[in-house]
Amino acid sequence: MKKNYNKLVRDNIPDIIEQNGEKPVIEFLNNNDYKKELLNKLKEECNEVISAENQEELLNELADVYEVLNALAHIQNKSMDDVVKIAEQKKLKRGGFEKKIYLKKVVTKKY
C-alpha cells in the first residue's frame, strides 16, 4: 500500500519513516521549487494554527510556522533576527496588536 503526500517535510522525516519499517520516496527540490513549497507549507501550518483546539496544539503549530519562516528568511540570506528587527521597526511606526483594535470602516469626508 502507498500513500501520496507530495509536500515538503522536515529533514528527519524520511529517517523516521524508515525506522517505522516503511520506504519513503523523496526528491530534492531546486531553489525555485523549494521556495514555492515553503510558501505552501506556510499556508498549511497557518491553517493548522487556526484549527488548533488547545494551547499545547497552538504552541506546536506556531513552532512549525516559525520553522517555515526561518527557512524562508534563510533562502533570502536573512535570519530571523533580521525579520524581528523589521517587525520591531514596523511596530514602532504602526503599532502592534495589543490594544485589540478592530477597524469596522473608514468614513471619508466630502468637501
All structural domains of the chain with their residue ranges: 33-94
Cell numbers standing for residue 37: 513549497
pTM: 0.88
User: What is the average pLDDT across 28-38?
Assistant: 98
Residue type, 91: K
Cell numbers found for residue 106: 473608514
pLDDT band at 110 (very low <50, low <70, confident <90, very high): confident
Distance CA 59, CA 79 (A): 21
> What integer is the mean pLDDT of 54-61?
98
| Whole-number Å distance between alpha carbons of 5 and 9 | 9
Mean of the per-residue pLDDT values of the chain: 97
Rounded average pLDDT over 55-81: 98
Residue 48 has which C-alpha cell? 493548522
